[in-house]
């Protein structure tokens, strides 16, 4: 069946793309500008859970909100969660303003399930989100943010208010030893299938390292676990810790606790006491650091060992036209104290500040935090 051409926009110029595509659809009315200006009341940088929740709350207040992120929705989850990894936190603590989570199996969510929830959240609240848009430069008073898409298109976002919801796990921590940039050394586990039949050295003793050790063991890898302390961390997920500890006790997973990496070579991991662990792969799971470049770009002071942005905790305000929400408020966290479940109030505080209302009362924390 022959297709019917779509009429051009009245007065449109000849379309140079039509001969190339060979399509009967006339796209001559589309503007192929290299620069796109987008105006809104609020620009939010960061399309993670709290960035999206803040966008929904502010949109509910009648503001026009634009969200921008250098990666996909929920970038940290998409980047760092191996397949089928479950959250420590219960589903109701992960749910955002205006949309409940109803897990089919009534269990803790996997990363994939929560990413699906975030996609549904954007659709339900009709949020304006530009993903994979790198921030190149920015200014305040008035707010102007310049970004670049994957295709190279330049976008300029203008607004009255800027909200930074950029998280705190921008880059992996480094060991600071020779060889950690070798091609067989990784910071993210990825799909465990790749390690089948291989010898893997995993460095770390918290949730990520322990779960990675168990995942690799289950696909048939020979696993070494190296941790600088004499035992894995006591706050490892309660459904993981006993099993991994048992495998360590049995010697099925080879533990080097305490142990510290002195060097990584193409053939082995060398520990500080001289032991050499032959390795096909090395996975460094020693935590993450916040990248403070955007705070510096917009003139937000940072303080303390964590280099956390200096804000008013009642309003989340860092400057007259700039707010910080979510885990971004905590800087680089060694022991996590700020996470999704205790950041839900941030959106309401920003909304109240912009409307000139008193800050809402904080929701009381549960007596047994799931961290």
Main-chain dihedrals φ then ψ at residue 93, nearest 5 degrees = -80, -20
Instruction: Judge contact between 74 and 118, C-beta under 8 A.
Output: yes
Q: What is the pLDDT of residue 304?
A: 86
Q: What is the pLDDT of residue 214?
A: 95
Angle of helix 345-355 relative to helix 49-60, nearest 10 degrees, comes to: 40
CA 56 to chain centre: 18
Which DSSP string corresponds to 259-274?
--EEEE-SSEEEETTS
Q: What is the pLDDT of residue 109?
A: 94
| H helix count then E strand count, the chain | 9, 22
Instruction: Judge contact between 113 and 147, C-beta under 8 A.
Output: no
DSSP 8-state code for residue 6: P
Least Cα distance to 63 among 40, 88, 95 occurs for 40
Instruction: Judge contact between 224 and 275, C-beta under 8 A.
Output: no
Instruction: Judge contact between 46 and 326, C-beta under 8 A.
Output: yes
Q: What is the pLDDT of residue 9?
A: 39
- CA–CA distance, 331 with 145 (Å, rounded to integer): 22
Q: How is domain 35-171+289-355 classified at the CATH fold level?
A: FAD/NAD(P)-binding domain (3.50.50)
Strands 128-130 and 133-139: unpaired
Main-chain dihedrals φ then ψ at residue 182, nearest 5 degrees = -65, 155
Burial of 11 (0-12, 13-18, 19+ CB in 10 A): exposed
∠ Cα 88 90 96 (to 5°): 115
Burial of 275 (0-12, 13-18, 19+ CB in 10 A): middle
| 174-286: CATH class | alpha beta
- CA–CA distance, 107 with 105 (Å, rounded to integer): 5
Cα distances (Å, whole numbers) of residue 102 to 50, 84, 106, 269: 19, 18, 7, 45
Spell out a b/e string for 290-301, using b for 16 or more CB atoms within 10 Å of the CB, else e: bebebbebbebe
Q: What is the pLDDT of residue 3?
A: 38
Instruction: Judge contact between 171 and 289, C-beta under 8 A.
Output: yes
Instruction: Judge contact between 35 and 156, C-beta under 8 A.
Output: yes
Q: What is the pLDDT of residue 305?
A: 87
Kind and range of the H or E element at 222?
A: strand 222-226
Task: HSE, CB side, 13 Å, CA atoms: give it for residue 116.
Answer: 9
Adjacent-strand bridge partners of 256: 226
Main-chain dihedrals φ then ψ at residue 262, nearest 5 degrees = -105, -30
Per-residue pLDDT of the chain (371 residues; tens, 9 = 90+): 333 333 333 443 443 333 333 444 443 443 444 557 899 999 999 999 999 999 999 999 999 999 999 999 999 999 989 889 889 888 999 999 999 998 888 889 999 999 999 999 999 999 999 999 999 999 999 999 999 999 999 999 999 999 999 999 889 999 999 999 999 999 999 999 999 999 999 999 998 999 999 999 999 999 999 999 999 988 888 888 999 999 999 999 999 999 999 999 999 999 999 999 999 999 999 989 999 999 999 999 999 888 999 999 999 999 999 999 999 999 988 777 888 989 999 999 999 999 999 988 877 766 555 44
For the chain, residues classed under CATH 3.50.50.60 are 35-171+289-355, 174-286
């Amino acid at each position: 069946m022959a297709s019917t051409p779509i009429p051009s926009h009245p007065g449109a110029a000849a379309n140079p793309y039509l001969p190339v595509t060979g399509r009967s659809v006339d796209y001559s009315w589309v503007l192929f500008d290299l620069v796109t200006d987008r105006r809104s009341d609020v620009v939010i940088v960061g399309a993670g859970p709290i960035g999206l929740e803040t966008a929904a709350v502010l949109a509910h207040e009648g503001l026009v909100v634009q969200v921008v992120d250098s990666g996909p929705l929920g970038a940290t989850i998409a980047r760092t969660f191996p397949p089928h990894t479950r959250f420590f936190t219960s589903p109701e603590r992960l749910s955002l303003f205006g949309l409940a989570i109803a897990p089919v199996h009534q269990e803790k969510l996997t990363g994939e399930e929560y990413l699906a929830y975030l996609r549904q959240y954007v659709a339900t609240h009709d949020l304006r989100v530009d993903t994979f848009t790198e921030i190149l430069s920015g200014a305040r008073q008035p707010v102007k943010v310049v970004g670049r898409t994957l295709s190279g298109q330049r976008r300029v976002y203008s607004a009255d208010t800027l909200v930074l919801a950029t998280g705190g796990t921008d880059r992996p921590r480094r060991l600071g030893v020779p060889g950690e940039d070798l091609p067989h050394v990784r910071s993210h586990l990825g799909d465990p299938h790749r390690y089948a039949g291989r010898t893997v050295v995993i460095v770390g003793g918290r949730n990520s390292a322990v779960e990675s050790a168990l995942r690799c063991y289950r696909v048939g890898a020979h696993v070494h676990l190296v941790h600088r302390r004499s035992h894995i961390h006591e706050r490892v997920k309660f459904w993981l810790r006993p099993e991994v500890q048992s495998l360590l006790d049995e010697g099925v997973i080879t533990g080097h606790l305490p142990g510290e990496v002195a060097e990584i070579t193409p053939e082995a991991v060398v520990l500080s006491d001289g032991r050499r662990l032959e390795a096909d792969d090395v996975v460094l799971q020693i935590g993450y650091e916040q990248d403070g470049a955007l705070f510096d770009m917009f003139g937000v002071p940072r303080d303390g060992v964590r280099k956390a942005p200096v804000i008013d905790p009642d309003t989340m305000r860092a400057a007259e036209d700039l707010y910080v929400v979510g885990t971004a408020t905590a800087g680089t966290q060694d022991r996590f104290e700020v996470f999704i479940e205790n950041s839900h109030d941030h959106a309401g505080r920003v909304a109240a500040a912009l409307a000139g209302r008193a800050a809402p009362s904080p929701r009381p924390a549960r007596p047994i935090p799931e961290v």
